[in-house]
Amino acid sequence: MSKPRLSDGVASPAVRLLGLGVLLAIAAASAGQQDGEQRERERPPGAPRHLFICAGDQARQSPDFLAVVNFDETSAAYGKVIARAPLPEPGATGNEMHHIGLSADGTVVACGGLLSVLKAQKEIFFWNISDPARPEFISAADPPLSSITDEFHPLPQGGFLVTMMGGATGHAPGRVAELDRHLALMAEHPANPPTDGFNPHGIAVRPEVNLMVTSDFICPATTLNATAGSLDLRGSVRVWDFKRREILRTIVIPNAGGTIDVKLIPASRPECSMISCTCSTRGTAPRNRSSTSPPSPRAAGRNSCA
């Protein structure tokens, strides 16, 4: 390729075009840098920079694992897996990771194995994520009275409440397992569970009014091919005394095709709480239903939520 010719000190069109391309590249780089700086300035304080995902090998040959994804939109590595921490043997495969929870101080990730019970494996798994780029497996728990791990609720002092949908063999009654800040199993609640299809799935807590609610979804054993008959779907919300970890009463949802989740909506009056549950009538799509529930027998006696 010949050098560009100069004429009267003015660059040829090829040189001018090359110069324009360089200027455009510099301008684009500068704009990109400014855009990144602008996004960083606009990032809300405490915005998440990492995404944690519990996953498993589709062939169920390699260990299940915790994956850490770069979730910083201003980073060139945004959306990329930056770390993995596998489960150790025994019981590392085929757990079918389900829900995931984060401790109140943000240093522990908890995952539950939906199908761990089928292989008689531990069911609740914990990782230390103090350094998200280097997650470390901590331990696993195996509540003896319950199985089929579902949702996690972090406790302020550390540890978790965990809804366990099934009993030890996947039938009813299930439990709500409690683990302390050292991730040791403290109890499986309640001490005397209901016998009318207690299979807790969703959970919500308002400690300031001593209230916890759980929703019964399905008897998990009936979802297995080895169990004869149809699905045994539930339709109920349990209202708990949070401090005593005792069920006060049951709200029955007529014709429900499984009360999947339940949330407490903060009320302006502390003695009242709104319960919003996600369920489906049999043969229809899920829908939300709400009801007002007094948090304690005392409040109910005053009819203060009418």
Res 266: pLDDT: 77
Low-confidence stretches of the chain (pLDDT < 70) are 1-46, 267-306
65: enclosing H helix or E strand:
strand 65-70
Please give the helix or strand (H or E) that residue 236 lies within, else none: strand 233-241
Q: Tokens 């009813």 belong to which residue?
A: 172
- Assess whether the previous peptide bond of 86 is cis (omega < 30° from 0): no
pLDDT at 16: 33
**DSSP SS3 for 187:** strand
* Per-residue model confidence (pLDDT) at position 155: 98
Q: Which amino acid belongs to residue 268?
A: S
| Separation of alpha carbons 111 and 98, rounded Å | 7
At 107-139, the pLDDT tens digits run 999 999 999 999 999 999 999 999 999 999 999
Terminal Cα-to-Cα distance of the chain (whole angstroms): 88
Q: Which pLDDT belongs to residue 183?
A: 98
Q: pTM score, two decimals?
A: 0.77
pLDDT at 259: 93
Rg (CA), the chain: 27
**Cα(112)–Cα(98) distance, rounded to whole angstroms?**
6
Distances (CA, A) of 193 to 127, 227, 238, 293: 30, 23, 11, 21
Bridge partners of 61, per DSSP, are none
- The pLDDT, as a whole number, for residue 279 is 63
The dihedral built from the CA positions of residue 302, 205, 157 and 177, taken in this order, carries a sign that is positive
Q: Edge-to-edge strands of the sheet including 160-167?
A: 146-154, 160-167, 175-179, 185-189
